[in-house]
């Protein structure tokens, strides 16, 4: 008799990711590591598979159940591909041996795409650090493992739990406020649709820190303010009466300590109605105030209760998966984006010279509705800012980069980020 295979229900925040996805458009995000020397693909393959064995909840294939998709653990080898310069194109799971993480290389680049239902950006960081630790050791380096999880440990229950359920405090159905989660109708960036593309810069971490000190802001609120100021300074957006709605992912582990490598994140909205009289300092201040207010622990606890209570609605439990998919695809024809732009700051990724790296880049996905997003990550003393776009227009990124340059930032363009052919 065959052993029963390990399965995982999708966590609370990722239930609908595969339902809304298509073969060409998946909910992906990407980490790109730029090494100082050319990548050894054989060593990379061994290192990636070692990381998968360390985090078995990431070594999974997607399966369809009656009401929801779920993950099933697989032991198949994770293949390694030569990077084809495409930007977050859908993972071909058949070619990828069923896996939902794709690893590629080219020259000095290591590119890792993650299906968001498997983990969030913080969980992916843990995988990336373990993979890079194995790689660095294998090529003869002595990596600093201070902030890297035990390479040889067996995955713990705490690392794979759906922590939304752990934090959840029961609420009544009448207390569920889904409208509040959807937010108001935002200014939309729009643009001429094109293949996905990416463009980015690297800025010394010390320069960003100095600017944050000058404006009395965190890195997230500082860059949020610069981004909103840049959007507001485009004439077509200033003339609109709607608000700039900046969606910012909040790592809930900072409020509710957890070591889960699955999704434990929620978005908050920074909402500002553009006004020609607002200065850059005003936008940074408003971003900082709203982030501090909306990301308070008690407010996030209420959001978590709303999400989990909604997940447990009897209508969702009895509605078959095929019907959920049909409804979602029909609704996609009419849905508009609920935000102007997403800005995700992953913070500090503890990879440095000892791992043989130069810098790290983080990219968010985009779609026909959400056409431009921005992501940041700090590693090896450098802050990388990367725009991902599904339009040809470059006005928002150009204004954002020009603003940072005018503030005294010494920027290095990330030349390798090429558009999808």
Per-residue pLDDT tens for 344-378?
999 999 999 999 999 999 999 998 888 899 999 99
State how far the Cα of 144 lies from the Cα of 198, in Å rounded to an integer. Answer: 31
For the segment 273-277, the average pLDDT, to the nearest whole number, is 90
State how far the Cα of 234 lies from the Cα of 230, in Å rounded to an integer. Answer: 7
| CATH code of the domain occupying 7-167 | 3.30.559.10
Q: Distance of CA 378 to CAs 20, 353, 415, Å?
A: 31, 13, 18
Please name the helix (run of DSSP H) or strand (run of DSSP E) that holds residue 117, with its range, or none: none
For the segment 79-99, the average pLDDT, to the nearest whole number, is 94
Q: How many residues does the chain have?
A: 421
Res 55: pLDDT: 95
pLDDT band at 180 (very low <50, low <70, confident <90, very high): low
Range 173-413: architecture per CATH = 2-Layer Sandwich (3.30)
Please name the helix (run of DSSP H) or strand (run of DSSP E) that holds residue 182, with its range, or none: helix 178-182
Query: What is the model's pTM?
Result: 0.93
State how far the Cα of 213 lies from the Cα of 118, in Å rounded to an integer. Answer: 36
pLDDT band at 63 (very low <50, low <70, confident <90, very high): very high
For the segment 98-117, the average pLDDT, to the nearest whole number, is 96
Inform me whether the pLDDT recorded for 2 exceeds 70: no
CB-based contact 238:274 (threshold 8 Å): yes
Inform me whether the pLDDT recorded for 25 exceeds 70: yes
> Which residues in the chain are classed under CATH 3.30.559.30?
173-413
For the segment 205-216, the average pLDDT, to the nearest whole number, is 97
Which of 73-77, 103-107, 188-192, 285-289 is least confident?
188-192
State how far the Cα of 387 lies from the Cα of 376, in Å rounded to an integer. Answer: 9
State how far the Cα of 266 lies from the Cα of 89, in Å rounded to an integer. Answer: 24
pLDDT band at 314 (very low <50, low <70, confident <90, very high): confident
Which of 174-188, 303-317, 386-400 is least confident?
174-188
Per-residue pLDDT tens for 149-166?
999 898 999 999 999 999
> Which residues in the chain are classed under CATH 3.30.559.10?
7-167
pLDDT band at 179 (very low <50, low <70, confident <90, very high): low
């Amino acid at each position: 008799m065959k052993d029963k295979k390990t399965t995982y229900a999708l966590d609370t925040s990722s239930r609908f990711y595969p339902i809304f996805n298509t073969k060409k458009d998946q909910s992906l995000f990407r980490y790109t590591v730029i090494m100082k020397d050319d990548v050894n693909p054989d060593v990379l393959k061994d290192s990636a598979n070692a990381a998968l064995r360390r985090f078995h909840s990431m070594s999974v294939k997607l399966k369809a159940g009656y009401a929801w998709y779920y993950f099933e653990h697989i032991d198949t080898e994770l293949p390694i591909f030569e990077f084809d310069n495409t930007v977050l194109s859908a993972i071909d799971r058949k070619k990828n041996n069923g896996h939902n993480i794709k690893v590629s290389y080219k020259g000095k680049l290591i590119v890792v795409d993650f299906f968001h239902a498997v983990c969030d950006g913080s969980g992916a960081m843990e995988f990336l650090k373990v993979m890079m630790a194995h790689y660095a050791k294998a090529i003869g380096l002595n990596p600093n493992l201070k902030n890297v999880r035990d390479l040889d440990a067996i995955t713990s229950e705490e690392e794979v739990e759906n922590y939304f359920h752990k934090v959840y405090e029961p609420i009544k159905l009448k207390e569920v406020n889904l409208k509040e989660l959807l937010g108001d109708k935002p200014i939309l960036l729009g643009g001429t649709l094109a293949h996905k593309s990416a463009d980015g810069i690297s800025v010394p971490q010390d320069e960003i820190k100095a600017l944050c000190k000058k404006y009395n802001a965190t890195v997230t609120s500082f860059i949020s303010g610069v981004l909103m100021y840049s959007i507001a300074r485009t004439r077509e957006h200033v003339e609109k009466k709607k608000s700039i709605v900046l969606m910012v992912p909040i790592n809930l582990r900072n409020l509710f300590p957890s070591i889960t490598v699955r999704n434990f994140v929620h978005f908050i909205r920074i909402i500002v109605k553009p006004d020609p009289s607002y200065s850059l300092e005003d936008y940074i201040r408003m971003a900082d105030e709203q982030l501090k207010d909306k990301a308070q622990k008690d407010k996030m606890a209420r959001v978590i209760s709303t999400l989990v209570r909604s997940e447990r609605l009897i209508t969702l439990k009895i509605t078959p998966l095929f019907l959920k998919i049909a409804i979602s695809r029909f609704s996609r024809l009419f849905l508009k984006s609920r935000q102007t732009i997403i800005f995700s700051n992953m913070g500090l990724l503890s990879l440095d010279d000892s791992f043989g790296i130069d810098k790290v880049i983080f990219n968010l996905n985009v779609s026909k509705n959400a056409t431009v997003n921005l992501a940041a990550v700090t590693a090896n003393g450098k802050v990388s800012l990367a725009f991902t776009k599904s339009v040809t227009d470059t006005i928002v990124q150009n204004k954002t980069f020009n603003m940072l340059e005018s503030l005294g930032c010494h920027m290095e363009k990330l030349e390798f980020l090429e558009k999808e052919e």
